[in-house]
């Protein structure tokens, strides 16, 4: 038998060397691993304190993971519970319970609960920087002495509980505090001066019963100040607000504030949102009042303001929403009678004189008030004389020039009887005015033009090239009167081309000014029309046969597709849904106010609400009316295009209720946003409304069950109920019972504020979040 040759000696040596190398490498890795700092385990005393917090809160489900956890610091954070540790000590504790407060205290913890014992236990965490106890059912006064011992505290959120009494003075000694959120409690005392908290960026004490007391004093680092729905009295101190150079968000609505509004408040450089509504603020806003460039939302509605609005608050735009209803402004709609704002108290609401007024005697003050009243009387008398003279001049002008027409503020304001001496034009049965006062539309366009291509008049050849000669592959929708095509311009931008047939009575010349106005309808929440092409009849050049409208292309689908298609619905939870409908409401508000009369009877079917890649909603199919005058002098609007309008269930189509038809369709959108299901018949709609109404009044838990399962866990119940109430009001059978678009928008924004407050319970504020 042949023997195998022995292995060469060098092979054995190589194997030994490799083995030695692997052993050394493993030893080196072990050495390096041992050199890395290991996380320090949580001190046993702190672990026991966490379990005691769980017991004092009566074992809420949110704290169930603490039971039996070998290391609470290693628990993965969830929306219900997050624990952070450093150096063996708890540095952050965030608990989101399931005990949302109610007026009957049904969700409050039992009578044996003690807020004193709870905060005594929390003082065992000396390194605690972030504390959030939201909706845990806690009640009682806030123990200031215990809070003061948490000197490392930077963020404190105790919202949505049942704490009562005042905000303790000891809070003003938490010098590291950056965010203080005590909203949605039963606090009913005062707020101490917080001016000494140099790092405080957020103060939210909204939805309490604080007051009566003065406007809280805060430091100049505040970014977010929310005081709404309390009982604060007195005036807004100009000295305090003028120093808030970092302030971005201010809400003092639903209080009892009085006096004049310091005009400097609107010019704060960082201000983006200000809500002063539903107070007793009075007087005039100076014409020189300036608004900060970043200011996107202003609400001064439901006060006692008089005079004229400053230039920066006259109307809405894509960059700024302004709400002024319920005041006594002379140049705005939906205002109260001037007597409601108590003109006799004029001297009391004028801004105080500049400079030092000290040392003035009573006689001097009485003389000044008399001077003010005398001047006011002179102004009123002069205004009456001017108004009388204006009426006389207009009547003479109407008799001499019957073809001149002044557009009323709305179709409903049109007189039902002919004025004396008025005669209809003799040559034509109708007179085309324009869709709007051209000057008004131009002003609106300047503030609403977005970063879209410059409007242009295209040739038919350019459109043929863009649509591949209107090929069937680019045809999206086809009907006898309207065709929709996909297109691509020479610069590469994708567009939508609509071919609309014109009614025979319109000539190319009559459409020129009309298209000029349409070109200025630019708004963030409207699909912009960026060009057109008028095609004349080949046999008769004076007759326009069709118009091609070129619009921007929005390719992310409709709002309905984001509610029904599973891939898209994953990205559209409750906050995104409410935000989308707020965008629709802002677009409708723009259409209703940009012209006189407004653009109404828009096709707001949910299929025509498009979302771009940032989930910004855009109205795709809004009306493009011409305002006309019939033989009897009645103003009405009609479309020059021969298109059929689809009747939505239950909506009214008469011209005088056109705005209420838009409100109705917004209500249908809201119902689908809530439930995730379309309403397919009138009977189904009435059944859904009855169920919602019953749930709102009798069983809030049932309302949560009616919501789309895809949004469960993403909404605040109060936000959902607010939107449900809006939807019921918008779909009222009687158009006169439906709210205005301003009211709809206000309530939707309020719903979003509630939602933001609920969501911020985990993050404890906006700017502080990034510093945590």
> Domain 44-233: which topology?
3.80.10
Q: Which two tokens stand for residue 598?
A: 């407004």
pLDDT recorded at residue 638: 59
pTM: 0.46
Domain positions in the chain: 44-233, 452-553, 557-636+656-771
CB 301 within 8 A of CB 324: yes
Q: pLDDT averaged over consecutive 10-residue blocks of the chain (772 residues)?
A: 48 56 53 49 86 94 90 90 91 94 89 92 93 95 92 94 93 93 92 92 94 86 94 87 90 92 91 94 91 92 92 84 91 87 48 39 42 46 47 41 31 32 32 35 42 75 89 83 85 86 66 75 87 74 73 88 78 89 92 77 88 89 65 57 46 56 93 90 90 84 87 89 93 90 90 81 43 38
Distance of alpha carbon 723 from alpha carbon 719, whole angstroms: 6
Q: Closest Cα partner for 187 from 206, 204, 203, 163?
A: 163
pLDDT recorded at residue 16: 57
Distance of alpha carbon 657 from alpha carbon 736, whole angstroms: 8
DSSP string, 356-377: --TT--HHHHHHHHHHHHHHHH
pLDDT recorded at residue 442: 39
> Domain 557-636+656-771: which topology?
Transferase(Phosphotransferase); domain 1 (1.10.510)
pLDDT recorded at residue 569: 65
Q: Closest Cα partner for 240 from 264, 267, 258, 256?
A: 264
Q: Which two tokens stand for residue 710?
A: 């895809």
Query: In CATH, what class is 452-553?
Result: alpha beta
With H, G, I as helix, E, B as strand and everything else as coil, classify residue 432: strand
- Collect all residues with Cβ–Cβ distance below 8 Å to 665 and sequence separation of at least 6: 602, 604, 605, 648, 651
Q: Closest Cα partner for 503 from 531, 540, 550, 544?
A: 544
């Amino acid at each position: 038998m042949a023997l195998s040759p022995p292995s060469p000696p060098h092979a054995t040596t190589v194997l030994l060397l490799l083995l030695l190398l692997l052993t050394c490498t493993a030893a080196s890795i072990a050495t390096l691993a041992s050199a890395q700092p290991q996380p320090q385990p949580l001190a046993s005393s702190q672990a026991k304190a966490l379990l005691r917090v769980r017991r004092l809160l009566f074992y809420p489900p949110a704290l169930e993971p603490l039971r039996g956890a070998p290391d609470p610091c290693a628990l993965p954070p969830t929306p219900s519970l997050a624990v952070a540790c450093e150096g063996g000590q708890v540095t952050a504790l965030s608990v989101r319970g399931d005990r949302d407060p109610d007026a009957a205290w049904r969700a409050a913890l039992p009578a044996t609960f003690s807020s004193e014992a709870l905060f005594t236990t929390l003082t065992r965490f000396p390194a605690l920087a972030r504390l959030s106890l939201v909706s845990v059912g806690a009640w009682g006064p806030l123990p200031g002495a215990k809070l003061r011992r948490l000197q490392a505290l930077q963020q404190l959120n105790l919202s949505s509980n049942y704490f009562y009494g005042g905000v303790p003075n000891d809070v003003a000694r938490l010098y590291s505090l950056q965010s203080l959120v005590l909203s949605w409690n039963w606090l009913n005392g005062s707020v101490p001066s917080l001016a000494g908290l140099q790092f405080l960026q957020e103060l939210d004490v909204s939805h309490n019963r604080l007051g009566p007391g003065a406007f809280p004093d805060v430091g100049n680092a505040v970014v977010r100040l929310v005081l709404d729905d309390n009982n604060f009295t007195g005036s807004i101190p100009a000295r305090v607000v003028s120093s808030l150079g970092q302030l971005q968000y201010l809400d003092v609505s639903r209080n009892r504030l009085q006096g004049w509004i310091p005009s400097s408040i609107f010019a704060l450089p960082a201000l983006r949102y200000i809500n002063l509504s539903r107070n007793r603020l009075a007087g005039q806003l100076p014409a020189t009042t300036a608004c900060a460039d970043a200011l996107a939302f202003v609400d001064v509605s439901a006060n006692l303001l008089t005079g004229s609005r400053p230039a920066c608050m006259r109307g809405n735009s894509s960059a700024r929403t302004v709400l002024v209803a319920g005041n006594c402004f002379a140049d705005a709609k939906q205002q109260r009678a001037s007597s409601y704002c108590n003109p006799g108290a004029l001297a009391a609401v004028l801004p105080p004189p500049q400079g030092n007024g000290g040392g003035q005697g009573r006689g001097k003050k009485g003389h000044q008030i008399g001077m003010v009243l005398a001047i006011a009387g002179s102004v009123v008398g002069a205004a009456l004389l001017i108004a009388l003279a204006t009426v006389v001049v207009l009547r003479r002008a109407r008799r001499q020039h019957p073809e001149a027409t002044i557009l009323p503020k709305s179709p409903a304001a049109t007189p039902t009887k002919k004025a004396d001496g008025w005669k209809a034009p003799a040559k034509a049965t109708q007179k085309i005015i324009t869709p709007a006062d051209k000057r008004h539309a131009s002003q609106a366009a300047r503030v609403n033009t977005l970063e879209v291509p410059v409007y242009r008049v295209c040739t038919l050849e350019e459109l043929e090239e863009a649509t591949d000669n209107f090929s069937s592959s680019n045809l999206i929708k086809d009907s006898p009167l309207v065709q929709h095509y996909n297109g691509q311009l020479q610069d590469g931008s994708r567009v939508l081309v609509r071919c609309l047939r014109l009614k025979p009575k319109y000539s190319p010349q009559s459409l020129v000014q009309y298209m000029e106005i349409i070109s200025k309808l630019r708004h963030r929440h409207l699909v912009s029309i960026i060009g057109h092409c008028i095609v004349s009849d080949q046999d008769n050049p004076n007759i326009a046969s069709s118009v091609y409208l070129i619009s921007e292309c929005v390719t992310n689908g409709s709002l309905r597709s984001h509610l029904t298609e599973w891939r898209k619905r994953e990205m559209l939870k409750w906050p995104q849904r409410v935000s989308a409908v707020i965008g629709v409401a802002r677009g409708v508000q723009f259409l209703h106010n940009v012209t006189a009369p407004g653009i109404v009877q828009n096709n707001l079917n949910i299929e025509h609400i498009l979302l771009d890649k940032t989930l910004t909603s855009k109205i795709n199919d809004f009306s493009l009316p011409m305002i006309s005058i019939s033989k009897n002098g009645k103003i009405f609007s009609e479309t020059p295009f021969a298109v059929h309008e689809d009747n939505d269930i239950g909506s009214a189509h008469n011209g005088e209720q056109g705005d209420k038809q838009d409100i109705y369709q917004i209500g249908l959108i809201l119902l689908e946003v809530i439930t995730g299901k379309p309403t397919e018949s009138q009977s189904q709609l009435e059944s859904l409304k009855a169920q919602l109404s019953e749930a709102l009044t009798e069983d809030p838990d049932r309302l949560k069950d009616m919501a789309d399962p895809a949004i469960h866990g993403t909404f605040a119940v109060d936000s959902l109920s607010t939107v449900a109430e809006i939807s019921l009001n918008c779909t009222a059978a009687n158009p006169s019972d439906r709210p205005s678009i301003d009211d709809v928008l206000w309530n939707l924004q309020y719903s979003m504020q509630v939602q933001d407050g609920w969501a911020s319970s985990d993050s404890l504020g906006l700017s502080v979040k990034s510093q945590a």
